[in-house]
Amino acid sequence: MKKLPFLLLIAAVPLFVACSQSPAPNIAATTAILAPVKLTIEAKEFSFSPAHTTVKVGQIVEVVLKNAGVTMHDFTIEKIKLKDKSVSHGDEHVMDTASGMDPDQLPVHVAAATGHVGDVTFTPTEAGEYEYYCTVAGHKVSGMVGKLTVVAP
């Protein structure tokens, strides 16, 4: 019996195409625009960390809410002037029927369940000090309150 050697050659040629051709930035234009800021705020029973943070007027602010606690928490600013509407991605938050307040109607609001992360993006238009807090019943009075300072750019 005759054995015929078979040689199978599989040549895999991976092609990696690097797309690193971003348009050359106009220096004058980029310096005039404030860089967006990303703030990671951890929520647990019953505090925010950090409890105070500072951003600038006209700056795109993204708050990433990390729930490190054992119950639902949210990040809410009830009174603040914004450019356009804030955009949030988070967990569904049941309306607080006791107060009749729907947090989703507030200027800045995002909720995160235990172990989850929510984010909300907004652009403040006026300098000032703005309170952020958790709207879950009893949480604000227990200490879930912080301060966002907005300064002139």
Site for Cu ion (CB under 5 A): how many residues? 5
- Contact (CB, 8 A) for 26 and 35: no
Member of 139, 146, 148, 150 binding Cu ion (CB under 5 A): 139
Name the residue among 65, 83, 81 with its Cα closest to residue 73: 65
The window from 7-15, 23-31, 50-58, 141-149 that contacts Cu ion (CB under 5 A) reads 141-149
Stretches 53-61, 75-83, 100-108, 134-142: which one binds Cu ion (CB under 5 A)?
A: 134-142
- HSE-CB at 51 with a 13 A cutoff on CA atoms is 9
Owner of token pair 């310096």? 31
120 binds Cu ion (CB under 5 A): no
Query: At 84, which amino acid appears?
Result: D
CB of 108 to Cu ion, least distance (A): 15
Cβ-proximal residue to Cu ion, closest one: 134
Min separation Cβ 39 and Cu ion, Å: 17
Residue 29, H or E segment: helix 27-32
144 binds Cu ion (CB under 5 A): yes
* 47 HSE (CA, 13 A, CB side): 4
Residues that bind Cu ion (CB under 5 A): 73, 134, 136, 139, 144
